[in-house]
Amino acid sequence: MMDVSALSCTDCDLTLSGRFNAHPLMKLDEDMLHFLHVFIVCEGKIADMEKALGISYPTVKNKIHKLKETVSKTHFVNEVNNETSLDLSSMSVIEILEQVNKGVITYEHGLKQIKLKKEKK
């Protein structure tokens, strides 16, 4: 893997040399860059990604997880844990599903809260 060691301006011919932090996307290998491209083109729809890449649902999910791990290990992403600050107990099942759909809470956390609601009835 290559590190960024120089930056130059084509307008003023200024060059800076040293060690620079590269954006996490620059650290992705060719396979993961291709996967990210397909993810964007398919708008994150896993069924479409399965067809486009010819891979199974679990493989798509594993690659998404790997991509997330690679990108979120840097200071570029501040992971906020909204799951613990939300009061899901007062929300309806539909509202919880909307939070999952928006990405505010994970699928697993939403499912757990819905199961808790069903058990209380």
**Are the beta carbons of 42 and 49 closer than 8 angstroms?**
yes
Assess whether pLDDT exceeds 70 at residue 81: no
pLDDT of residue 38: 95
Q: Which amino acid is at 83?
A: E
pTM, two decimals, is: 0.51
Q: What is the mean pLDDT of residues 9-38?
A: 86
Assess whether pLDDT exceeds 90 at residue 102: no
From CA 21, how far away is CA 111, in angstroms rounded? 38
pLDDT of residue 80: 45
Assess whether pLDDT exceeds 50 at residue 54: yes
Q: What is the mean pLDDT of residues 68-73?
A: 77
pLDDT bracket for residue 48 (50, 70, 90): very high
Token representation of residue 98:
């909307």
